[in-house]
Chains A and B, each alone.
Chain A
Amino acid sequence: MKIKLNSAILVLPMLGMLGFVVVVARAQQNASGHASDFTSVEYYEPPHHQQVKSRLSGAEASPQPGGLLVIKQLKVETFDLNGKPEIVVDAPECVYDTLKGVATSSGQLQVRTGDGGFRVEGEGFLWRQSDSFLTISNHVRTVIEVSSEKKI
């Protein structure tokens, strides 16, 4: 399994926990261990190893005690085998537990399908990487839009 890596030492443990096995990262890392403007990509298993499975990006990642990372402007995108976007997740800020593989936040979260037909937003969330399980805790609002000939 090949790893393409620029200066993203900080991001690597987190990505490992996130399951981002193959990493393409462009990050600026300073002496305090902060990383900014990073992107990481996970590819499908062979024979589709050329296809991007998911992409995680953030404006800033700050390490905290206990294996925690504070990530700002988090964006997670998943893609199907044809490269079409499936799910896009946006959160202004979250705390990622690299030991448990869990991201949490009391702030806003937005989730939408690649075609934008299914959109959800709410406040407070928990994202469990191991089984791709997302809980939004408060004030959940969903909008589902389909073309006129495909009604709900």
Chain B
Amino acid sequence: MTLAGDRLSVTLDGREILNAVSFETAPGEWLGIIGPNGAGKTTLLRALLGQVVSTGKLTFQARDLHTIGRRERAKLMASVPQRPLLPPAMTVADYVLLGRTPHISYLGKETYADLSATREAMVALELTDHLQRPLSSLSGGEQQRAILARAISQDAPLLLLDEPTTALDIGHQQSVLGLVDMLRRERDLTVVSSLHDLTLAAQYCDRLLLLDRGAVAASGLPTDVLQAESIARIYGAEVRLLTEDGKVAGVVPQRLVTSPAMETPTPPSVSAP
């Protein structure tokens, strides 16, 4: 029932983007993929989606994701890309209905079951007041919910999110991740998401996979993966970890002293509550 990758490698244009990446996550868990820019986070998600050719083993619910058909894969996993293309004039209802595509035969028409799944997804994301509105007229937060509703109506046990918080303000970041967490619990979804923000990764993910130049630098519980030394080594960033009840509650970058003429200030004291 788990999602597992074993020595997964991806080579694009002669360059090795992923090198023998192994990971495993239990059903209902949230796996966060972290790492600096260019570490291979998005490529790993694209390998799961079958959008790039990968070698090694990749299984979900005991199915080999390398040989699975396009439609079967779409029934197993729903994906929310970093910047989804939103057809401006399409209505919310029509957009959410697109999530049912893998369940409708090639030249077929949506059934009652497809319509109820669509309706249910729109209820779950509180979109029922906006059914007939074109996507371009929605606010940023409403668009996010419409995108999630489309993924939810797909009714797949695995949800992939590529940097779901990019370009969102702090309030929207919180609400999007909160919604994903709620949907995950309600529907027992396995979630895999790449994340830039280490604090959010620590707060929401059950398990983290830290990538560095295409290889696994660390993986496991957030407390094990998020270490000041490894973050310094891999990201080249000086951070301070905030802990709460033995768990990482925040990853705070320290202000760098850029001018050698300046005196070294004492780091601000941060105390965990």
Note whether A and B form a binding pair: no
Binding site for A on B (CB under 8 A): none
Residues of A within 8 A of B (CB): none
